[in-house]
Amino acid sequence: GENVEQHPSTLSVQEGDSAVIKCTYSDSASNYFPWYKQELGKGPQLIIDIRSNVGEKKDQRIAVTLNKTAKHFSLHITETQPEDSAVYFCAATRAQKLVFGQGTRLTINP
Amino acid sequence: KAGVTQTPRYLIKTRGQQVTLSCSPISGHRSVSWYQQTPGQGLQFLFEYFSETQRNKGNFPGRFSGRQFSNSRSEMNVSTLELGDSALYLCASSLNPAGGQETQYFGPGTRLLVL
């Protein structure tokens, strides 16, 4: 079955700097890769997703890149703000079964 | 449009009891998936329902079961509760008209504590 590895587990950056979180997946048949942000006491919130026929997608300060050959995808957050502090999860799927990475706790230092 | 709602939000049970959690998907969404979130195991897929049928299942024991109603609302049941079942149970819904890679939207979860 699918296995998703996510790094780093914790990340601390200065406000205004960029943050990058990386994930690798094992199942070459996976074709949908969402990223979720989870704040304390809340459910995961979709922030961006990418499908296997696309190499890069951007939405304002957030971008995701996908390398199908290497089976890895990354989340890039630029100009970080205090409200970006949260736990971020990557996931991979080829049906409706999302397989999640272990999460990255991102802290933005003022 | 209202988001995914889950009830109850918090629940305390004792070992051996059973529990039923409820999920109402976003209006028009026909697929409902359930996930268990724990600090040690992270987010793990339990099962997915579409048109009242279980379409996918994760690697959980038979004590975990679910169902979906004709209005797409879903319930999950855990029987003979164990301490290790303490977790945040998340429900997610998607449109999924023909299967495939549809965005899943999560509810706030039900936090279950087993004593």
Q: Which residues of B touch A (CB under 8 A)?
A: 4, 31, 33, 35, 42-45, 48, 50, 55-56, 58, 90, 92, 94, 96, 99-109
DSSP string, A46-60: EEEEEETT-SEEEET
Integer CA distances (angstroms), B60 to A93, B47, B97, in order: 18, 9, 26
| Distance between B79 CA and the closest CA of chain A, angstroms | 23
To test the contact with chain A by mutation, choose from B43, B94, B110 the residue with the greatest count of A C-beta atoms within 10 A, namely B43
Integer CA distances (angstroms), B37 to A42, A74, A77, A109, B45, in order: 12, 23, 25, 27, 9
Query: Which residue of A lies nearest to B57 if distances are taken between CA atoms?
Result: A97
Extract the residue ranges of chain A whose pLDDT is less than 50: none
In tens digits, what is the pLDDT along chain B, a chain of 115 residues? 789 999 999 999 999 999 999 999 999 999 999 999 999 899 999 999 999 999 889 999 999 999 999 999 999 999 999 999 999 999 999 986 555 567 899 999 999 999 9
pLDDT tens per residue across span B61-78: 999 999 999 999 999 999
